Chain A
Amino acid sequence: GQQLNQSPQSMFIQEGEDVSMNCTSSSIFNTWLWYKQDPGEGPVLLIALYKAGELTSNGRLTAQFGITRKDSFLNISASIPSDVGIYFCAGQDNAGNMLTFGGGTRLMVKP
């Protein structure tokens, strides 16, 4: 089946630093989604990407749909303590198959 490799698995950064995480796929995707999951809650959609090369921002978050359609990255600028959580990428191929999720990036922010 499809696999999504998400990296890094975890990050421990200082408040105010910028963060970058990415996902790579073994196959071409038509849709990339980025979610954040806080402890005790379900994943919340942050950004949705539908076109190769698309760059989309949501506040301090910016995500890009890679030109090859096999990767995507998420950047967080000027991190704050409430950015702590697990960030998941998810992708969907052009066959309309269900979403495939990455293993998540656990972000920890030191005040």
Chain B
Amino acid sequence: ETGVTQTPRHLVMGMTNKKSLKCEQHLGHNAMYWYKQSAKKPLELMFVYNFKEQTENNSVPSRFSPECPNSSHLFLHLHTLQPEDSALYLCASSLEGGANQPQHFGDGTRLSIL
């Protein structure tokens, strides 16, 4: 149990669907992150929120829309995705954003786009 919970664990959706991924952390952290993990590629940072404010958007297409209502919850809203968006989406949190802050990961949502 890492203290970072992601739901759902698996999601299959069509390209025209709208769905949301949820992440919740119970560690008292103030920074939260979304990563994309594709086969045979390093983890790709997508978004960073620090004290509920988005501080990083790593050139992510607009079909991915993050939301951070408070420091404990992070969402990733998905719409009109493409087949190449199939991947494992990982959420992480750290005490604060910035240097010397180890990130703790959830178990991810395995997303498949039909």
Contact = CB atoms under 8 A, between A and B. Distances in A.
Interface residues of A, number: 24
Interface residues of B, number: 24
A103 B41 CA distance: 6
Interface in B23-74: 33, 40-43, 45, 48, 56, 58
Nearest to A48: B102
A31 B103 contact: no
Given A44-B2, A104-B42, A99 B99 contact: no
A59 interface: no
A42 B99 contact: no
A92 B45 contact: no
A45 B104 contact: yes
Contacts of B45: 98-99
A101 interface: yes
A104 B40 CA distance: 9
A41 B90 CA distance: 9
A99 B58 CA distance: 12
A30 interface: yes
A98 B43 CA distance: 12
Interface in B66-91: 90
Interface in B94-114: 98-100, 102-108
B21 interface: no
Point out which of A4, A44, A101 has the most chain B C-beta atoms below 10 A from its C-beta. A101
A42 B105 CA distance: 6
Contacts of A45: 102-104
A102 B90 CA distance: 16
Given A42-B2, A103-B42, A104-B42, A94 B99 contact: yes
Given A43-B90, A96-B99, 6 more contacts: A42-B2, A42-B107, A43-B105, A50-B100, A98-B58, A101-B42
11 contacts: A4-B42, A31-B100, A41-B107, A42-B108, A44-B2, A45-B103, A45-B104, A92-B100, A98-B58, A101-B42, A102-B42
Which 5 interchain pairs have the tightest Cβ spacing? A42-B105, A101-B43, A42-B107, A101-B42, A96-B98
